[in-house]
Amino acid sequence: MAGIYVHIPFCTSRCIYCDFFSSTDSSLRGGYVDAVCRELALRGGELADEVVSTVYFGGGTPSTLSAGERERLFRALSTVVDWSACDEVTFEVNPDDVTPAFIAALRDTPVNRLSMGVQSFDDSDLAFLRRRHTALAAVEAVTRCLEAGYDNMSIDLIYGLPGQTLAGWDGNLQRAMSLGVPHISAYSLIYEEGTALWRMRERGVVKECDEDTSLQMFERLIDVLAAHGYEHYEISNFARAGRYARHNTSYWQGIPYLGLGAAAHSYDGRCRRVNPLSLPAYMRAINENRVAYAEECETFDMLYNERILTSLRTCWGLDVKRLETDFGPERTQYCLEQARPHIEAGRLAFADGRLRITRAGLFTSDDVMSDLFWVD
């Protein structure tokens, strides 16, 4: 079992908080799509004979692709993907791109799941973040997707904006609940170095939401979504029954995947490969029929730490027996000893052979997880 990630690094405009690899210059897009198809031909063998069970088009903004560009990508992918055996094919969309013609055309492709960057249902939040859609456009786009039969869809929301109130966040949650999408990803606003938002804070133009308010928003998120039947299955992800994001879940479970496109990552269970973070460098290499990724293979200790980090993020937690099988008694003993004070303080729970972060532990989950890391 394996996954494929396809990075589409083109956006119509730049959101102030964004540090994803993407460009607002669409002139290279056609050539880039051809390069991704060629990369798949060069690297498809890395999937060995694994069945591809998930495909994810992320960005950037995949919904900026033209019908012809989408068609070229699907034709290339069909050489390595048996779509009838592929459980989940996700396409990230921007509300502004979801026209009736777009969604009708997408229904003729293998895409069976949508992930929409809504971020907020408040026009002043959207203007501040420099999103290119309005709240109304987002509501109409979600409705259009659901009516077109995309009942497996997710929306992204952001909380903890400067000046955002609890009442404002509640309003966002209520609007999201009224739409009935089965999956929600919600993130606190991050000030990534180098972004416009980060510079605004440096210049004193904006003031960060204080930590208490941000934590209260996280609490509200968990409560409201639980009350509406969503399971909190990963720190930032909530799903109704059976609607987990399978592709992202496979990242947390260490399942191999092939990443195509500039800045895309691949993982074979031990080594990570990272494609060039430059469109010209990526396209030049592929056009010369060579791959140009940098590779880093994880040591035993890194793999152990990765297991701690990825399993404790999820509701399934850390399987201690499996930890012992894969990493031996010394590290397992160490893990349980390090976990003990967190269990006593109620931040971790140990049941059914699994360690899980509790609700109380969610608010300091980074510290809890790093205490379990192996440090030489």
Query: What are the angstrom distances between the C-alpha of 235 and each of 10, 17, 91, 239?
Result: 28, 20, 22, 12
Q: What is the per-residue burial (b if ≥16 Cβ within 10 Å, else e) of 15-46?
A: bbbbebbbbeeeebbeebbbbbbbbbeebbeb
CB of 113 vs ligand SF4, minimal distance in Å: 18
Residue 44 vs 58, nearer CB to ligand SF4: 58
Query: What are the angstrom distances between the C-alpha of 319 and each of 302, 315, 316, 326, 354?
Result: 18, 11, 8, 11, 5
Which residue of this chain has its Cβ atom nearest to ligand SF4 in the complex? 18
CB of 34 vs ligand SF4, minimal distance in Å: 22
By the criterion CB under 6 A, which residues form the site for ligand SF4? 11, 14-15, 18, 20, 22, 59-61, 94, 117
Residue 95 vs 317, nearer CB to ligand SF4: 95
- Bridge partners, residue 187, by sequence: 158
CB of 18 vs ligand SF4, minimal distance in Å: 3
Residue 276's nearest CA partner among 286, 143, 26, 167 is 286
Residue 27 vs 84, nearer CB to ligand SF4: 27
CB of 11 vs ligand SF4, minimal distance in Å: 3
DSSP annotation of 299 reads: P
Residue 22 vs 53, nearer CB to ligand SF4: 22
CB of 200 vs ligand SF4, minimal distance in Å: 16
Residue 11 vs 255, nearer CB to ligand SF4: 11
CB of 68 vs ligand SF4, minimal distance in Å: 22
Work out the number of other CB atoms within 10 angstroms of the CB of residue 51: 12
DSSP string covering 109-134, please?
A: SS--EEEEEEE-S-HHHHHHHT-SS-
Q: Residue for token digits 């297991």?
A: 307
CA 137 – CA 146 distance, rounded (Å): 14
Residue 60 vs 256, nearer CB to ligand SF4: 60
Sheet architecture: strand order including 354-357: 318-319, 354-357, 348-351
| C-alpha 352 chain-centroid distance | 29
CB of 197 vs ligand SF4, minimal distance in Å: 11
Residue 60 vs 317, nearer CB to ligand SF4: 60
Work out the number of other CB atoms within 10 angstroms of the CB of residue 351: 8
